């Protein structure tokens, strides 16, 4: 699974993207966040406030509790504002 990080998430983690193979029990973006937090302090800092995190699975916006299914890509980013 390709995992993308945008804005301050990328800054705190130190990566813009990575390819990961989470365990089978990681079935939602929220579960993926919990698993990612175990990878180090940058992930803990980036995902400290889940209410500030948005997700897209295979380029479709979704809730953090949406099923991942056989997703090829998941993106995490802060709330998007427009002008």
**What would the pLDDT profile of 4-61 be if each residue is shown by its tens digit?**
999 999 999 999 999 999 999 999 999 999 999 999 999 999 999 999 999 999 999 9
Question: How does 23-41 read in b/e, with b if 16+ C-beta sit within 10 Å?
Answer: eeebebbbbbbeebbeeee
Of the pLDDT bands very low, low, confident and very high (cuts 50, 70, 90), residue 79 is: confident
Q: Which domains, and CATH codes, for the chain?
A: 2-77 (3.10.20.30)
- CA separation for the pair 77, 31 (Å, rounded): 16
Task: Band the pLDDT of 82: cuts 50, 70, 90.
Answer: low
Please give the average per-residue pLDDT across 52-78, as a whole number.
95
Residue 48 tokens read as: 């400290």
Residue 83 pLDDT exceeds 90: no
């Amino acid at each position: 699974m390709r995992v993308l990080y945008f804005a301050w998430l990328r800054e705190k983690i130190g990566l813009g993207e990575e390819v990961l193979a989470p365990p089978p029990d990681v079935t939602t973006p929220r579960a993926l966040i919990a698993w990612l937090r175990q990878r180090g302090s940058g992930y803990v800092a980036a995902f400290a406030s889940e209410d500030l995190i948005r997700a897209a699975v295979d380029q479709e916006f979704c809730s953090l509790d949406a099923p991942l299914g056989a997703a090829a890509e998941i993106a995490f980013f802060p709330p998007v504002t427009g002008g």
